[in-house]
Structure 1
Amino acid sequence: MNVLRDVFQEITSMFLGDARLSVAILSVVAIAAGLIEIAGLDPLLAGAILLAGCLAVLLEAVRRRAREG
């Protein structure tokens, strides 16, 4: 049981370690899903938006972390 608890804590800390990154990625996913459902955008195009958005968020997080230290 301790192993499961340790694994759960590690996974939780991995996703919540950088809250800004997690929120930004979830926002990109929500926008892409909204474009498919509400705007009727082609899923392949929304996938490209999802890819570009996630890469942009990741690059910004790396740039921000590099400036910190």
Structure 2
Amino acid sequence: MTEDHKPTDNAIAERVNGILTSKWLYHTKHPANLREATRIIAHIIDFYNNRRPHMSNDMLTPVQKKQRHAHVP
């Protein structure tokens, strides 16, 4: 028998999926093919990681937070 899984089991992943879906995927035209879909998703991931500040990161992007954390002894 398998265990039941809930969205709360991995809240961070569920939050990211929700943000990606509600903020971008629902507001993006449907891609004509797999190549275009891949390009759109790559753009969204780049924006999310490199340009979108996150409240949980003290309004830094994930990349900025990682860089700052890497320099802390």
- TM-score normalised to the size of structure 1? 0.45
Q: Which has the higher contact order (CA 8 A, sep 6+)?
A: 1
Q: Comparing both structures, which one devotes a greater share of its residues to helix? A: 1
- TM-score normalised to the size of structure 2? 0.43
